[in-house]
């Protein structure tokens, strides 16, 4: 999952990759330092620095990949004046190719999602049944959130899915960012045909994404906040997804705990574990 900035990575990758930062203090940047960073980036390119779109995307992908991880997170869903909070535990392996999500808040306790490659299943303790998520269900909001099942299923590196071009540099929340335009590679199945991504020059984290349909219509906007450092990586601890096709709705995912490089018990990513049997 990749809640990449996204969340996804969390609920992926969307969500996990996005979030992990809980380990160290956030990087505080002043507007002045951000402006100096932009100037520095421009100077580096004029001096022949290999800062190009492919290199930037490779750094973003490297930041988002974790061989194994355990996370605890909350999901706040705001829609139509209502506000719902869900909590969950996430086990992840194979750089997001396998994930088990277990909800722990009273209303959803025992509900689990299992992702293995491009397959996903949900187990509901009330119905006591396993349902494979496929077809039109993939476009629906996961647990009523603005993250779709497709968002949660994404785990492949962006550079394998998209052709990238560098569109410029801008400030996002006072941080100097490269602006990338991503277009789906021919023949690749992707959730969004085009993405516009703002990548922090200091942390190689996507601080903002706009997600587009093939028609050019913007579908969703993803924002990442509270970027923290964990070893050699930087992660946003908070990711906010807005579905622009739905009025007055947004979902905030916050990572409250992240352990990387953990040992995952055998059988975690199985249908038996999904049902808790």
Q: For the chain (length 277 residues), average pLDDT per consecutive 10?
A: 43 38 28 39 46 91 85 94 95 89 95 91 91 86 88 82 96 96 93 95 94 95 90 87 92 92 93 88
CA separation, residue 175 to residues 27, 221, 227 (Å):
10, 18, 11
Residue 18 has what pLDDT? Answer: 38
Residue 50 has what pLDDT? Answer: 53
Which residues are CB-contacts of 203 (< 8 A; sequence separation ≥ 6)? 27, 63, 227, 229, 234
Count of Cβ atoms closer than 10 Å to residue 120 Cβ:
23
Residue 86 has what pLDDT? Answer: 96
Q: Give pTM, 2 decimals.
A: 0.80
Rounded to 5, what percent of the chain is helix, strand, coil? 20, 45, 35
Q: Provide the residue count of the chain.
A: 277
Residue 39 has what pLDDT? Answer: 42
Are the CB atoms for 197 and 211 separated by under 8 Å?
no
Residue 230 has what pLDDT? Answer: 78
Q: Which of 66, 49, 8 is nearest to 178 (CA)?
A: 49
User: What span, in angstroms and rounded, lies between the C-alpha atoms of 276 and 45?
Assistant: 54
């Amino acid at each position: 999952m990749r809640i990449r900035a996204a969340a996804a990575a969390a609920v992926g990758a969307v969500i996990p990759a996005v979030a992990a930062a809980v380990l160290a203090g956030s990087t505080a940047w002043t507007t002045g330092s951000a402006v100096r960073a932009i100037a520095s980036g421009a100077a580096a390119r004029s001096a022949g620095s290999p800062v190009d779109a492919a290199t930037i995307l490779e750094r973003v992908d490297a930041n988002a990949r974790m061989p194994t991880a355990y996370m605890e997170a909350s999901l706040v869903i705001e829609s139509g004046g209502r506000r719902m909070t869900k909590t969950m535990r996430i086990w992840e392996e194979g750089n997001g190719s396998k994930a088990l999500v277990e909800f722990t808040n009273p209303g959803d306790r025992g509900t689990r999602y299992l992702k293995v490659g491009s397959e996903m299943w949900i187990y509901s303790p009330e119905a006591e049944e396993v349902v494979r998520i496929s077809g039109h269900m993939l476009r629906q909001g996961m647990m009523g959130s603005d993250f779709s099942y497709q968002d949660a299923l994404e785990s492949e590196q962006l550079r394998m899915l998209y052709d990238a071009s560098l569109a410029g540099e801008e400030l996002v929340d006072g941080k100097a960012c490269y602006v990338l335009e991503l277009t789906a590679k021919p023949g690749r199945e992707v959730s969004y045909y085009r993405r516009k991504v703002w990548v922090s020059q200091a942390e190689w984290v996507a601080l903002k994404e706009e997600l587009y349909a093939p028609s050019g219509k913007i579908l969703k906007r993803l924002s990442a906040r509270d970027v923290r450092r964990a070893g050699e990586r930087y992660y946003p601890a908070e990711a906010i997804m807005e579905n622009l096709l739905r009025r007055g709705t947004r979902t905030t995912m916050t990572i409250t705990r992240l352990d990387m490089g953990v040992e995952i018990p055998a059988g975690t990513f199985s249908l038996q574990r999904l049902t808790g049997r």
